[in-house]
Amino acid sequence: MSLTTDGVVPESAAASTATPVIAVRGITKHFGSVQALRGVDLDVHQGEVVGLIGDNGAGKSTLVNILSGALQPNAGTILLDGKPVTLSSSLEARNLGIETVYQDLSLAPDLTVWENVFLGREQTVKGPLRLFGWLDRRAMILGAKADLDRTHVRIGSVKALAGRLSGGQRQAIAVGRAVAWGSRVLLMDEPTAALGVEQQETVGQLVRSVSSQGVPVLLITHNLPQVHKLADRVAVLFHGHVVADLRCSEVTVDDMVSWITGAALGAQPHAG
Amino acid sequence: MPLRLPSALTPPGTVTEGSGPEAEDTERSALLNAVDRFGDFWVLGVFVIMVLVFGLLSPSHDLFTRASWLNISQYAVEFLLLAVGQTFVIITGGIDLSDGAVLGFTGMVSGVVMQDLLSAHANSMLTTVVGFATAIFLGAGIGFVNGFLITRLRLPPFIVTLGSLTAIGAGATPLINGGNEVVNIPSQIGTIGETLIANWVYVPVLVAGVSCVVMGLVLHRTRFGLRTYAIGSNSVGARRAGISVDNHLVWVYTISGLLAGVAGMMVMANFTDASPLSGQNDELNAIAAVVIGGASLFGGRGHMLGTVVGTFIIALLVTGLVLVGVSGSWQEVATGVIVIAAVAGDQVRLRLAER
């Protein structure tokens, strides 16, 4: 179910005719003789949560690395708001609004929360001290508070060291700073891999709050029960193809498993 | 970065408030905070205890005299300048073993340049300026090469700077001027070394002090400083955040080399000659000062005020042990013990953080 900005709940057919925020068309990638992706098509629409699932080696990581700019595809196009884009570095992807929350979260544990939120895009003071890169600490502390308040996760003080926080809180910082930069689409790589049950719940809240702000989320995960609960759709990668595009409301976790393992392919050779 | 600052080492008024994660403060993080604070306090505590012990043990309390302060501060200048650059390097997770050798080399090259200018009857003031420029640019240049090799060839900082230490300190420096001291330098250099400001501060001490303040502000208040910590704390994350890590590291090693060049001139000012023996083993004292000051050799942690206290602890060891009549060799033993204690403390902190 995708919610457009004016609050209309479109039918699935309507959603697929609107221009997707991000779309990949015929992406292929090989490493030497190993064919990781064999022509992947995928659409993610405004406000949608899409799960990307598949077994180890199905090509999930490769696709994420291509979308975050870390790898370049051998063929195929990436469309952002319908326009083809080239993502030659992770910085370029970020500048275009494709933010990635990495599995390791990419936080500096020795820096404070606010320093992590603004890292790489620090605000400097106005006036002559600007020439020396003098930091506007007050503005960034207030800005980080505001950004993290939107994630609805209690961080405590933004002046705390990131390395001293719990897994869920760190996830919130990583998501909060990704969304704060006006991102068009959020990629989350295995967001719950290292978390306890309660913290997985926190991540669930984060995902929902991001998508309710209109930013679509592509969730790459092994955690099928969670993706079933959180996502509107799941795309199943199998041997470098998207073999199924399932609505979570219409399938069970067991159905997902049979697609991931390829069992469903035998039963329904023309599906996907 | 108020949380990183030990309140005891912070100038009054900079720490305005509080203490870490509030509501979620578990027992574990309370313990960690206590360890953090203890780790920051103990440096200053050790320093105060040392001052008291040496002061009370020294005959007629010689340590508490102006002469003894002048002596210690003058001695500390070269270590302080090297340690300032080393602080940046160690916070990035690197190490600069070459800075003592750079100190000696830049001093000798600058000395020979000035000697030649003087024998060509150049103006003495101009010669002094050229001498300073030579040492500073040469130092920065060597630092740049270190940084370039480390980042572009992906070599470990330990290996690159160990190579520089050997090539420059053991190889190049003794070749200059036939391995002899250069004594024919402008009188202005010596004047710098013996001029006292307000009767308490030698000019080289002032130079080192200003370097500490300026570089401390760069480290703790500017984007450059923040990125220095970020690279040491998580270099992959820093790169993903759009920081050009390699260029930053080249700058950091260049700064370290530049300050070693300044130190070369200050040592020359203190001794009124350029000696090929200057700076030998200084890098170890500089690294010790930074580590004693609370920096982690794993990167991401460190503080300029800690470095200053660490430097004075070492300077105090030397003069204090002499004052109380203990052989100078025991100073080396004591430095070694303190460094191991400091690194052990850092390890305990890391292990607690990982639990």
Provide the Cα torsion B268, B293, A162, A224; round to 10°: 100
CATH assignment at residue A142: 3.40.50.300
Selected residue with higher pLDDT from A16 and A225: A225
The answer for residues whose C-beta is within 8 angstroms of residue A68's C-beta and 6 or more apart is A87, A90, A93, A98, A100, A187
The DSSP-derived string for A68-111 is TTSS--SEEEEEETTEEE---SHHHHHHTTEEEE-TTTT--TTS
Q: Count the Cβ atoms, other than its own, within 10 Å of residue A246.
A: 22
CB within 8 Å: B230 and A108: yes
The CA-CA-CA angle for residues B272, B278, B284, to 5°, reads 140
Residue B8 placed within a domain: no
Q: Describe the strand order of the beta sheet including A34-44 as a list of residue ranges.
A: A34-44, A22-31, A75-80, A83-85
Query: What is the interface pTM, i.e. ipTM, of the complex?
Result: 0.83
Residue A52 placed within a domain: yes
The pLDDT value recorded for residue B27 is 53
Residue A5 placed within a domain: no
Of B20, B25, B233, the CB nearest to A108: B233
Residue B10 placed within a domain: no
CB within 8 Å: B223 and A165: no
CA–CA distance, B228 with B236 (Å, rounded to integer): 13
Task: Per residue of chain B (355 residues), give pLDDT as tens.
Answer: 333 333 233 333 333 333 333 334 445 556 666 666 565 677 888 889 988 988 888 877 778 889 889 989 999 999 999 999 999 999 999 999 999 999 999 999 999 999 999 999 989 999 999 999 999 999 999 999 999 999 999 999 999 999 999 999 999 999 999 999 999 999 999 999 999 999 999 999 999 999 999 999 999 999 999 999 999 999 999 998 889 999 999 999 999 999 999 999 999 999 999 999 999 889 988 999 999 898 998 999 999 999 999 999 989 888 888 878 887 788 788 878 887 887 787 778 777 766 6
The DSSP-derived string for B170-218 is IIIGGGGGGG--B----HHHHHHHHPEETTTEEHHHHHHHHHHHHHHHH
Q: Count the Cβ atoms, other than its own, within 10 Å of residue A114.
A: 27
CB within 8 Å: A90 and B232: no
- In chain A the first and final C-alpha atoms are separated, in Å, by 19
pLDDT in tens, A105-142: 999 999 999 999 999 889 999 989 988 999 999 999 99
Interface of chain A toward chain B, CB-CB under 8 angstroms? 90-91, 94, 100, 102, 104-112, 115, 119-122, 124, 132-135, 137, 154-157, 159-161, 163-166, 169
CA–CA distance, B118 with B122 (Å, rounded to integer): 5
CB within 8 Å: A164 and B236: no
Q: Supply the DSSP symbol for B18.
A: -
Q: Supply the DSSP symbol for B172.
A: I
Pairing mode, if any, of strands A34-44 and A83-85? Answer: unpaired
For B175-198, b/e burial (b = at least 16 CB within 10 A) is: ebbeeeebeebbeebbebbeeeee
- For residue A246, the cross-strand partners are A234
CA distance B255 to chain A (A): 15
Residue A139 placed within a domain: yes
Distance, C-alpha A214 to centroid of its chain: 13
Q: How many domains does chain A have?
A: 1
CA distances (Å), origin A194, targets A46, A166, A190, A231 = 28, 11, 9, 20
The pLDDT value recorded for residue A172 is 85
Average pLDDT on A69-81 reads 92
CA–CA distance, A217 with A45 (Å, rounded to integer): 9
CA–CA distance, A52 with A62 (Å, rounded to integer): 12
Say whether residue B221 is in contact with chain A using an 8 A CB cutoff.
yes
Choice among A90-94, A253-257, B33-37 with the minimum mean pLDDT: B33-37
Say whether residue B5 is in contact with chain A using an 8 A CB cutoff.
no
CATH assignment at residue B145: 1.10.3470
**What is the rounded average pLDDT for all residues in chain A?**
85
A253 lies in which domain range?
12-267
Structure tokens at A198: 């309660």
Q: Supply the DSSP symbol for A156.
A: -
CA distance A106 to chain B (A): 4
CA–CA distance, A59 with A63 (Å, rounded to integer): 6
Q: Nearest residue on chain B to A116, judged by CA atoms? A: B230
The pLDDT value recorded for residue B204 is 96
Residue B323 placed within a domain: yes
Chain A residues in contact with B20 by the CB 8 A cut-off are 156-157, 159-161, 164
How many CA atoms lie less than 13 Å away from B70 in the CB half-sphere? 15
CA–CA distance, B225 with B216 (Å, rounded to integer): 9
The pLDDT value recorded for residue B16 is 32
CB within 8 Å: B300 and A124: no
SS3 assignment for B99-131: HHHHHHHHHHHHHHHHHHHHHCCCCHHHHHHHH
Is the separation of the CB atoms in A231 and A27 below 8 Å?
A: no
CB within 8 Å: B229 and A108: yes
Using CB atoms within 10 Å of the CB of residue B60, give its burial: 0 to 12 exposed, 13 to 18 middle, 19+ buried: exposed
Residue B63 placed within a domain: yes
Residue A4 placed within a domain: no
Q: Count the Cβ atoms, other than its own, within 10 Å of residue A224.
A: 17
pLDDT in tens, A181-239: 768 899 998 887 767 777 778 888 888 888 888 899 999 988 888 889 889 999 999 98
Residue B27 placed within a domain: no
Residue B18 placed within a domain: no
Q: How many domains does chain B have?
A: 1
The pLDDT value recorded for residue B31 is 65
Pairing mode, if any, of strands A217-220 and A49-54? Answer: parallel
Structure tokens at B316: 């105090």
Selected residue with higher pLDDT from A143 and A11: A143
Residue A182 placed within a domain: yes
Whether the per-residue pLDDT at A75 is higher than 80: the answer is: yes
CA–CA distance, A28 with B225 (Å, rounded to integer): 42
Say whether residue B177 is in contact with chain A using an 8 A CB cutoff.
no
Of A100, A102, A122, the CB nearest to B226: A122
CB within 8 Å: B224 and A133: yes
B91 lies in which domain range?
49-354
Residue B11 placed within a domain: no
Chain A residues in contact with B245 by the CB 8 A cut-off are none
CA distance A207 to chain B (A): 21
Q: Supply the DSSP symbol for A161.
A: B
Residue B185 placed within a domain: yes
Q: Count the Cβ atoms, other than its own, within 10 Å of residue A6.
A: 5
